[in-house]
Structure 1
């Protein structure tokens, strides 16, 4: 176990596209680098106060630069934790809510802030206690996988065989565990060539392992999946995205943040770093900003070929900057801002606008206590469980704070078409529909009588600052991702395009996972440091220093 009480990860988010140890880089006693004294205090605009923007700002402040954060909506981005009225412990995690221990760069900041974490109550885990799977009208209760019919193990075994047969999974994951960069690239690069144009469903349906099984097996795989639940909403996505999730342990050993994950960006906002260049001891991002982020950006342009950037906010105030990090959802750069076109190549604009985002909806209620732990006197089973179903709710998760303390139910967590069914409905109607679905699964449980306070819901596709939950790359999108991810290395770019950097999980190879947001933020920090005349320590080279050797394979156009 680590000092923070987490298991030491066997697999970490190392590669497979860019085999660079971000956690080692930021944990080094030599620091991530320096900028010349004459660059101290130079201003860097950061568009977006999500985790990527705040990590960028925090690290740039430590280097002696002056980050200025703009935010058009809510602080924290998709790390959004909302307390139920009247309770300090009952929290709805509207965005990211489960964080794999393989996310070692992200957890570096969690540990600095001293945030407590606990195992997430995923299906068939000890933290869940029990799981109910309700498919095609049949309801199954399980506390372990062995309590389920053989079909479910057959599905899991078939997927594991498919991964081994078509992706050399065991050898590739062993290379990632060992951080053998050369071997990871040797094994991964041919997979990129073979699977970029093929979908997740294609991988399943064409595999020898699943060909031997029935359609029912594929259907169950889509509804129940592996790890955290069903994956049929990802069936159209590029198989490369799913392979990364499996290889990097992103769907395993997940934890949640006690008190809400929004504590991470807010904690970095108010934290005074120990090793701080230029700024007086005790300086924080909050103090640099006078207590608040600046309002949303409406215009970005540049003076001359390589002059300063000029940002105009929604109230008409314009400020000049020496560099910019844009962490917002990529479509906003063409729909919500007057973003000067020459600042990015046409190929980059193509990649940003072709990025495809997935819909997602959640609805939460607070209940008087974790009544689901009660035992049915007839069966001895818990009266309600973490639930996976083909009904409208899809996934139902249970969160407790103590035997007699207010608890939280995520009544429904759905994606894509299931999320779109919820989008036009009021929160009250969403709760009614969810309760109706769960009543069919638990006819003897009156969930409604336990509900206290007002429900909380979110549909990320209807939020004007997000327009979707996160990226879901389609087959053939690898080249777009390659352009976006590698943009932080700018030595070969025209002068007018240098100094603008992109970050966020949508720029990363692992959309929807906070580690991707953190890693792209650190890429951008290296880019700004280099742009300002700085460099990494020779004993601790940064991501830009390693990119030519360890960066992702270029498939060409």
Structure 2
């Protein structure tokens, strides 16, 4: 029997093999020499901006990076005071192995990854589920009561009933484009305007179960934990997560994921035009520019970008990677640059809220064994209490380690929005005290806590996109914007990227793929193309492009 192929983030809306395009010896393509050295504005130094900048540099262009806040965007690794390597991952922290595009860059810069301590995984060691005051200790799903098994079986049955899931996943594994689109495209038409909750409750498997089963599914869910905050979302959003195994087999980046971008910023590459040893950092004088506050057309067929200090610079093209709402709140963009239908899509993008609370502790004391129970004193915890998800990060015996006391989304994140970091810690400790009575966490805490609420950050206004029913057309407009041959000349030359432009929001792979789309778009805009033996996303768009729903 042949070995089962791995699931990768291949499609399903646009099944283009980005990983193959990246690793092909011919490279991504080339631009005419007349354009070598031209400056391209890149708005945002997050994953999309730095990866796109790196690839544009290799083409012989000079990407000029603007950053309004902190280098790294939502790949934000915050170092605890007084340490060099004890970190809190405030944004992206767990990265599925199916994200081949992202791991291409992780491997390129030589960083290590390890299994993430998700619930019921070996990396977590043990898990406690606490719902409505009822607490269960488990190392695997087999240790949980029958109800939890029934929920897991029911969801798998729902996926088969509504989405022909096994065959769909096999098409992804095999990279069988024809089979994948034959199954997926009708699902788009059927489920774009229906919610995740509708998918669950309308399935035969869940109709045969109680409300309690649906409630547990929402609170505990699958993979990384509870999914009730996603119940109002378009089911297509969730299906992609399941299908591409984005919620499975996750790893974290040792030393902090932000280092991927810092290293890429300083990583020399074999480039057209530029001398050996050229880096993004060297092309930018060692530092990014500040906030971009205005994007306008200039009289030379390009763009003028003005920064916060009122310094205008002209560019042949612009790549925008910031959250879409910033284009109407923080950056003055000439309205004529985008079609009104695209403005509608950018403005209607709905971002979800998220909050995290971290503390540093003196050592991984949660591994201490309670003599009364024979179990660790604390475990990875899923609960309906304020903390929702609590994670433990072991840096080694007797070394400072980290507890993510609380990771919550949407309503649960909004509950703590106006509160100080210290108050959030107090509430989290109080909640965990009810799950683990008598366990002393406070005496182990060192330094100051670290917290984040992404919706309160003026440079983000939310954590990540969560498409509502009916938003597929909006997503299609944004994702396909890099295909500009049929656009009026006044709208060409500005490109969008970021996980919020992708089909897979909240996952860095979406940021990588849309960055690569934008790189191809810039290349085509300047008269270049991919090599014939390694066609890019634009060359294959007509063949592989997403199904177009009627307007």
- With structure 1 as the length reference, what TM-score do the two structures score? 0.98
The correspondence of residues 362-511 of structure 1 with structure 2, limited to 5 A, is: 362-511=356-505
Q: Which runs of 5+ in 2 are unaligned?
A: none
The CA deviation at 1:86 is 1.4
1:318 maps onto 2:347 in alignment: no
The CA deviation at 1:88 is 2.1
Partner of 1:82: 78
The CA deviation at 1:556 is 2.1
Aligned partners of 1:411 and 1:223: how far apart in 2?
17
User: Matched residue of 2:540: which SS?
Assistant: helix
The correspondence of residues 504-523 of structure 1 with structure 2, limited to 5 A, is: 504-523=498-517
Aligned partners of 1:67 and 1:495: how far apart in 2?
22
* 8 Å CA contact 2:5, 2:173 repeated in 1: no
Partner of 1:62: 58
Residues 284-303 of structure 1 deviation map (CA, whole Å, 9 limit, x = unaligned): 11111111100111111102
* 8 Å CA contact 2:5, 2:174 repeated in 1: no
Q: Which runs of 5+ in 1 are unaligned?
A: 1-7
Residues 236-292 of structure 1 deviation map (CA, whole Å, 9 limit, x = unaligned): 00000000000001001000001000001111101001x211001001111111111
1:308 maps onto 2:306 in alignment: no
Partner of 1:3: none
Moved over 6 A (4+): none
Aligned partners of 1:337 and 1:523: how far apart in 2?
23
Aligned partners of 1:299 and 1:114: how far apart in 2?
37
Partner of 1:253: 249
Partner of 1:336: 330
Aligned partners of 1:89 and 1:450: how far apart in 2?
18
1:184 maps onto 2:180 in alignment: yes
1:156 maps onto 2:174 in alignment: no
Aligned partners of 2:515 and 2:221: how far apart in 1?
31
* 8 Å CA contact 1:89, 1:401 repeated in 2: no
* 8 Å CA contact 2:302, 2:493 repeated in 1: no
Q: What is the aligned counterpart of 2:225 among 226, 229, 247?
A: 229
Aligned partners of 1:179 and 1:234: how far apart in 2?
28
Partner of 2:287: 292
User: Matched residue of 1:545: which SS?
Assistant: coil
User: Matched residue of 2:64: which SS?
Assistant: strand
* 8 Å CA contact 1:124, 1:143 repeated in 2: yes
Q: CA RMSD in A?
A: 1.0
Aligned partners of 1:338 and 1:409: how far apart in 2?
40
Aligned partners of 1:101 and 1:136: how far apart in 2?
34
Aligned partners of 2:361 and 2:308: how far apart in 1?
40
Aligned partners of 2:472 and 2:108: how far apart in 1?
34
Residues 345-371 of structure 1 deviation map (CA, whole Å, 9 limit, x = unaligned): 000000000000000000000000001
Aligned partners of 1:488 and 1:481: how far apart in 2?
13
The CA deviation at 1:108 is 0.2
Aligned partners of 2:151 and 2:243: how far apart in 1?
19
Aligned partners of 1:153 and 1:546: how far apart in 2?
43
The CA deviation at 1:308 is 1.5
Aligned partners of 1:526 and 1:204: how far apart in 2?
39
The CA deviation at 1:444 is 1.9
Partner of 2:527: 533
The CA deviation at 1:9 is 7.4
Q: What is the aligned counterpart of 1:353 among 347, 354, 364?
A: 347
1:44 maps onto 2:71 in alignment: no
User: Matched residue of 1:543: which SS?
Assistant: coil
Partner of 1:4: none
* 8 Å CA contact 1:12, 1:103 repeated in 2: yes
1:11 maps onto 2:7 in alignment: yes
Aligned partners of 1:419 and 1:552: how far apart in 2?
34
The CA deviation at 1:426 is 0.2
Partner of 2:106: 110
1:53 maps onto 2:45 in alignment: no
Partner of 2:120: 124
